[in-house]
Amino acid sequence: MTRSEDQLRLDIVEVGRRLWTRGFVASNDGNISVRLPGDRLLMTPTSVSKGFMSPEMMVITDMDGRLLSGEPGRKASSEILMHLVAYRHRPDVHAVVHAHPPLSTGFAVAGIPLDRAVLAEVVTTLGSIPIAEYGTPSTPELPAAVEPYVKTHDALLLANHGALALGRDLFAAYYKMETIEHFARISLVARLLGREHLLSREEVGRLQELRGTYGIASPAPVCVDDPPAGVDPSCQVVVAPSSPGERLVLDTAFLADVADGQVPVGNGGEIQLTYGQLTTLIEDAVRHLTARTTA
Ligand code: 13P
C-alpha cells in the first residue's frame, strides 16, 4: 500500500523523533528524505532539531534538488546532494536517513569499517558497512565520496562524520540505521573484551543463501576477498576466514599484531594486554601445542 504524502510527512516526524530520542543526533544533526511520485523528494528542512519537527516543516524538491514547495524561509537539508546521489543510483531506494550515532561515528572517526563477519543477521541483511572517504559536509565532495558505495550497500559510515542508511521505505532505512549503531556497540564491546570470533567464510556463504529464503533484496552479493584498491566495490566485502570444518573462527589478527610488535607497548617497554587478549594468546598457544602432539 503506498502511503499518502500526509502520512509520509508524519512518518518523517516520527523517525526524526526516534533518531533524537536514541541519541543518534544532537542539535540540528541528521536529515531524512523520501521519494514522492512524480520525480519529487520530501525532505527535512535544514537547521532544525530532528527530534521536534512538525509535518508542515518538510520541503519538496525535484530530483535535481530544486525547491518546489515549503513554508516561507525553509530550505532543503544541506546534505540533499548526498541523498540525491543515492536515489540516482538506486531506483529500489525510496528513503534515505543520515545521522551521527555516537558509536558507529566513533568507528568512522577511527577509520575502522564495520566489515567483519561477526553477527549472522548483519551479514544476511546489510553485508558489510564500509567507510566512505571524508568529504566536507554539504559540499559536492560528500556525494562524490558516497557514490561508489551506495551502488552496492544499504548502510555505510562517513569518515569523521556519521552514518547513512538507504531503504525501500522510510522505516526500512531507519531500522538499518538502528542496526548500524547496534552492530557498532556490539563490536566495540567484543573488542574491549579483547577477542573476536569471526563467522567462517563457509558460514557466510550459508547466510548469504538465506537472503533468498527471507526475501531480502540486497543491492550486491557478499564477497570475502579484498577488491583491488581504488576500484568501486562490486560486492559487499566481508572479513571471514576460510575454515571448512568450523562455523566460528577465533580471529588471530590480534595475535599477528603481537608478532609484528603492533600491540601497545607501555613505558619501560612492557607489553600491555587486556585479560581477554592474554587469554587468547594462551589458548592459541595451547591449541597449537595440542594440534602438534595429536598430529
Ligand atoms: P541539515 O540540518 O542541513 O540537514 O544538516 C545536518 C547535518 O547533519 C549535516 O551533516
List the single range of 44-58, 124-138, 269-283 with lowest mean pLDDT.
Answer: 269-283
The answer to the question of residue 108 being in a domain is: yes
> Whose grid coordinates read 585479560?
275
Q: Does the beta carbon of 105 sit less than 6 angstroms from any atom of ligand 1?
A: no
134: CA distance to ligand 1 center in Å?
16
Cell of 47: 537547521
Whether 132 and 44 share a structural domain: yes
**Final residue in a domain of this structure, among 193, 216, 232:** 193
The answer to the question of residue 220 being in a domain is: no
Confidence of residue 71 (pLDDT cuts 50, 70, 90): very high
pLDDT value at 89 more than 70 = yes
Whether 57 and 163 share a structural domain: yes
The answer to the question of residue 120 being in a domain is: yes
Determine the pLDDT at residue 285.
76
The kind and range of the H/E element at 48 are none
Average pLDDT, the chain: 90
List the single range of 166-175, 250-259, 263-272 with lowest mean pLDDT.
Answer: 263-272
Query: What's the rounded Cα separation, in Å, for the pair 42 and 62?
Result: 9
162: CA distance to ligand 1 center in Å?
11
Burial annotation 79-99 (CB, 10 A radius, 16+ → b, else e)? bbbbbbbbbebbeebbbbbbb
pLDDT: is 193 or 112 the higher one? 112
Q: Does the beta carbon of 30 sit less than 6 angstroms from any atom of ligand 1?
A: yes
Confidence of residue 1 (pLDDT cuts 50, 70, 90): low
Q: How many domains does the chain have?
A: 2
Neighbours of 210 (CB within 10 A): 14
Pocket test for ligand 1, best of 25, 27, 32, 98 (most atoms within 8 A of CB): 98
Whether 160 and 16 share a structural domain: yes
Whether 175 and 267 share a structural domain: no
pLDDT value at 194 more than 80 = yes
Q: Does the beta carbon of 139 sit less than 6 angstroms from any atom of ligand 1?
A: no
Whether 25 and 93 share a structural domain: yes
The answer to the question of residue 75 being in a domain is: yes
Whether 159 and 63 share a structural domain: yes
Whether 128 and 258 share a structural domain: no
Q: Please report the atom of ligand 1 found closest to the CA of residue 31.
A: 4
Confidence of residue 32 (pLDDT cuts 50, 70, 90): very high
pLDDT, tens only, 97-109: 999 999 999 999 9
pLDDT value at 132 more than 60 = yes
Whether 157 and 63 share a structural domain: yes
What global pTM score does this model have? 0.88
Q: Does the beta carbon of 79 sit less than 6 angstroms from any atom of ligand 1?
A: yes
Whether 171 and 286 share a structural domain: no
Most confident of 107-111, 237-241, 279-283, 285-289: 107-111
Determine the pLDDT at residue 114.
97
pLDDT, tens only, 116-131: 999 999 999 999 999 9
Q: Does the beta carbon of 78 sit less than 6 angstroms from any atom of ligand 1?
A: yes
Q: Which residues contact 251 (CB under 8 A, 6 or more apart)?
A: 116, 195, 196, 197, 198, 241
Report whether 50 contacts 38 (CB < 8 A).
no
pLDDT value at 291 more than 80 = no
33: CA distance to ligand 1 center in Å?
12
50: CA distance to ligand 1 center in Å?
10
Q: Which long-range contacts (CB under 8 A, 24 or more apart) does 7-14 make?
A: 8/34, 8/36, 8/42, 8/170, 9/42, 9/55, 9/56, 9/58, 10/55, 11/170, 11/171, 12/42, 12/44, 12/53, 12/55, 12/58, 12/170, 13/53, 13/54, 13/55
pLDDT value at 263 more than 80 = no
pLDDT, tens only, 158-181: 999 999 999 999 999 999 999 999
139: CA distance to ligand 1 center in Å?
11
Q: Average of pLDDT values for 81-101? A: 98
**Final residue in a domain of this structure, among 167, 193, 219:** 193
Q: Does the beta carbon of 154 sit less than 6 angstroms from any atom of ligand 1?
A: no
Whether 157 and 259 share a structural domain: no
pLDDT: is 132 or 291 the higher one? 132
Closest residue by Cα to atom 6, ligand 1, is 29
The answer to the question of residue 128 being in a domain is: yes
Determine the pLDDT at residue 59.
98
Whether 177 and 279 share a structural domain: no
Q: What is the CATH number of the domain that holds 134?
A: 3.40.225.10
Identify the domain containing residue 289 by its residue range.
253-295
The answer to the question of residue 209 being in a domain is: no
Determine the pLDDT at residue 79.
98
Q: Average of pLDDT values for 11-39? A: 98
113: CA distance to ligand 1 center in Å?
23
Whether 41 and 116 share a structural domain: yes
Query: What's the rounded Cα separation, in Å, for the pair 259 and 115?
Result: 24
